[in-house]
Amino acid sequence: MGRAPRSQRRRFGRGEVLVPSPPPPVQPLQECLETLQSRWRREGSLAALWQDWPQLAGRPLADHCRPLNLSHGVLTVGARHPQWRQALQYSKPQLLAAVRSAGHAVRDLRIQQHHPSPTAELETEESVWARHPSRIDVHGMASCPCCDSPAPAGEMALWGHCGFCRRLKLSELQGSPQEETTQAFNTAQDGEPSTSA
């Protein structure tokens, strides 16, 4: 049986005790991330390819094609449209060389048609506000025909009156919330709507 190095042994009473070796020095976070990314590339991680894809494929291809799978050194890339699939076919040797030169363990490139599930595009606050009927700077000002108060012209064009009159008319159509709540409560109690208030 071998002995531990002297740096890992300490005298304790009549015998010796083994102590763990000192931990490695602390590395900056940037170095840790670079080590992790290089390990991903060596081991053939799809996450590393996703991260590098815009630089490897170029912005036009990256917007319409994406890596789908990396298995046993074969990278499968999906194209949304046949024309982008054809562009990938033509640039396959250059793309494969770029992927390899970036340190990714890819030996072959497979290209296929890919139809991603449509994602609901959420409108940005700026785009909603840009066409909002209450914008005075876009639509100008007008007078409400119901209450004769100044209001955005966009509201007049959309509803025929100002936003305040619209709210009043909607609340008249729906009834007051208190009446609806009372009616729903009475229905739950009796099983039939109550006519008494």
Domain 36-113 has CATH 3.40.50.2300: no
What does the mean pLDDT of the chain come to? 80
DSSP string, 19-88: -PPPPPPP--HHHHHHHHHHHHHHHT-HHHHHHHHHHHH-HHHHHHEEEEEEETTEEEEEESSHHHHHHH
pLDDT, residue 93, reads 93
Q: Where are the domains of the chain?
A: 36-113, 134-190
Q: In angstroms, rounded to a whole number, what is the distance separating the alpha carbons of residues 75 and 107? A: 8
pLDDT higher than 50, residue 194: no
pLDDT higher than 80, residue 6: no
Average pLDDT over residues 72-99: 90
- List strand residue ranges (DSSP E) for 64-149, in order: 65-71, 74-79, 108-113, 141-143
Q: In angstroms, rounded to a whole number, what is the distance separating the alpha carbons of residues 144 and 133? A: 14
- Token pair in block for residue 117: 């599930």
What is the tens place of the pLDDT at every residue in 46-57?
887 888 889 988
pTM: 0.43
pLDDT, residue 128, reads 79
pLDDT, residue 46, reads 81
pLDDT higher than 80, residue 183: no
- Token pair in block for residue 186: 């009475």
Average pLDDT over residues 159-186: 73
Percent of the chain with pLDDT over 90: 13
CB atoms within 10 A of CB 106: 19
pLDDT higher than 60, residue 144: yes
pLDDT higher than 90, residue 116: no
Give the dihedral of Cα atoms 153, 158, 162, 168; nearest 10 deg. Answer: 180
Q: In angstroms, rounded to a whole number, what is the distance separating the alpha carbons of residues 84 and 173? A: 53
Diameter of the chain measured on Cα atoms = 103
Percent of the chain with pLDDT over 70: 81
8 A C-beta contact, residue 133 and residue 152:
yes
pLDDT higher than 80, residue 7: no
pLDDT higher than 60, residue 157: yes
